[in-house]
C-alpha cells in the first residue's frame, strides 16, 4: 500500500511576499508546512535573488495555476551600469566593464524600443532547456550556452529613479516568459555600455499585489498564536480570486452533481447562459458555480457545458 498523503483539505491562495535568497520551491514547501496543506503549488517562479509576490495555491486552487501563469506581472528592478556578469545579476562574476554611464534622457529614449512584442534571448543561467538539459546546469559546468531568441511581450517600462549615474530603477509591466535580466543586458548594450540586475522585486502578479501580501516570518508568528491554525487561515484568499476575469454561471444542485461526475449539462434551461457566453466571447470558457462555490471550469460546445477542471469541494462548500 502507498503512503497516505498527510495534511488538511484546505483550498485557496496565499499571497506570499517571498524574501530574497530563498527559491520558489522551498518557499512553497514552507507555506505548505505551516498550513499543513495536502497540496501546494506556485504561479510563476521567482529567482532566489528576487523578492516579492509569489502566489501560492493550496488544495483545489492548484487546478487554477494555469490561469495565473499568463497573468500580467509588475517588477521593480535596479540596474547597475558599467559591468556585465556571467549570470546578468549580482551573483555572477564580472566579465565585461565599461566607463560609459547613460543619462536619464538616453535611458528614457531607449525604453520604447523594448516595449510591445520583442525578441529576447534568455540568460545562459536560466531554467530554459538546451538539448534536454537546463541551461544553468550547462553554464555552471563551464560549457558555452547558446539559446534561441523568443518573442515576449512587455507592456510598459517606466524610469522610476536615475539619481545615481551608476544605477537606475525601472518599473516593468509584462506578460509571461520575460527575463528581466535579459532586459537589463539588452538595454545596456543598446545604450553602448554593460549592466546587470542589482536588485529585483516583483510587486504584482495578476490580482495579487503588495497590499495584502504576507511574509514567511509573519506566517510563522501566526502559526503559534492559535493551535487550530485559524489565524493562518484568515490569510487564505478564495480560489475564485484568480477566476474573476472568467464569466460565472449559476447551476442547480442536480446540475452541479452531474458536472462533478464529469458529465456535460445543457445550457438551454439556464436563464443567464446567454449573458455568460457573451462575456466569455470566443473562448466560451466559464466557471460553473453553486451556492457561491466553484464547481468546475467549463467550456461551451453545442449548447452544452462541458467540465474541463472539476473542483472536489464537498457539495455544501469547502471545509
| Catalytically active residues, by annotation | 47
What nine digits make up the cell of 199?
536588485
The CA-atom distances, in angstroms, between 116 and each of 6, 154, 156, 200, 295 are: 46, 5, 8, 21, 37
Q: Give the C-alpha separation, 58 to 31, whole Å.
A: 9
The CA-atom distances, in angstroms, between 54 and each of 9, 95, 143, 217 are: 21, 31, 31, 15
Q: Give the C-alpha separation, 59 to 295, whole Å.
A: 14
Q: Is-contact 45 16, C-beta < 8 A?
A: no
- Of the candidates 198, 196, 199, 187, which has an alpha carbon nearest to the alpha carbon of residue 102? 187
- Of the candidates 303, 212, 222, which has an alpha carbon nearest to the alpha carbon of residue 266? 303
Q: Give the C-alpha separation, 21 to 146, whole Å.
A: 27
C-beta neighbour count of 157 within 10 angstroms: 23
Q: Is-contact 23 48, C-beta < 8 A?
A: yes
Amino acid at each position: 500500500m502507498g503512503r497516505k498523503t498527510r495534511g488538511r483539505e484546505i483550498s485557496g491562495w496565499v499571497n506570499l511576499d517571498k524574501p530574497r535568497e530563498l527559491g520558489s520551491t522551498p518557499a512553497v514547501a514552507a507555506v505548505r508546512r505551516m498550513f499543513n496543506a495536502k497540496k501546494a503549488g506556485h504561479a510563476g517562479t521567482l529567482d532566489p535573488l528576487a523578492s516579492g509576490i509569489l502566489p501560492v495555491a493550496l488544495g483545489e486552487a492548484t487546478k487554477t495555476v494555469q490561469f495565473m501563469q499568463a497573468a500580467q506581472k509588475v517588477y521593480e528592478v535596479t540596474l547597475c551600469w558599467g559591468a556585465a556578469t556571467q549570470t546578468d545579476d549580482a551573483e555572477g562574476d564580472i566579465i565585461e566593464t565599461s566607463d560609459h554611464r547613460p543619462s536619464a534622457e538616453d535611458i528614457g529614449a531607449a525604453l520604447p524600443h523594448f516595449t510591445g512584442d520583442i525578441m529576447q534571448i534568455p540568460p545562459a543561467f536560466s531554467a530554459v532547456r538546451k538539448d534536454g538539459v537546463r541551461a544553468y546546469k550547462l553554464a555552471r559546468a563551464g560549457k558555452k550556452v547558446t539559446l534561441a531568441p523568443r518573442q515576449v511581450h512587455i507592456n510598459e517600462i517606466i524610469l522610476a529613479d536615475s539619481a545615481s549615474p551608476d544605477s537606475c530603477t525601472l518599473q516593468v509591466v509584462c506578460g509571461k516568459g520575460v527575463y528581466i535580466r535579459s532586459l537589463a543586458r539588452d538595454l545596456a548594450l543598446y545604450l553602448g555600455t554593460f549592466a546587470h540586475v542589482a536588485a529585483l522585486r516583483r510587486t504584482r502578479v495578476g490580482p495579487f499585489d503588495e497590499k495584502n501580501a504576507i511574509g514567511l516570518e509573519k506566517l510563522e508568528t501566526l502559526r503559534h498564536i492559535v493551535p487550530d491554525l485559524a489565524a493562518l487561515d484568515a490569510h487564505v484568499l478564495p480560489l475564485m480570486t484568480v477566476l474573476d476575469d472568467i464569466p460565472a454561471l449559476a447551476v442547480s444542485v442536480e446540475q452541479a452533481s452531474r458536472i462533478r461526475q464529469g458529465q456535460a449539462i445543457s445550457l438551454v434551461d439556464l436563464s443567464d447562459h446567454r449573458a455568460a457566453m457573451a462575456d466569455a466571447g470566443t473562448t466560451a470558457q466559464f466557471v460553473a458555480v453553486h451556492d457561491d462555490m466553484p464547481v468546475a471550469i467549463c467550456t461551451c460546445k453545442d449548447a452544452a457545458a462541458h467540465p474541463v477542471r472539476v473542483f472536489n469541494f464537498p457539495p455544501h462548500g469547502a471545509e
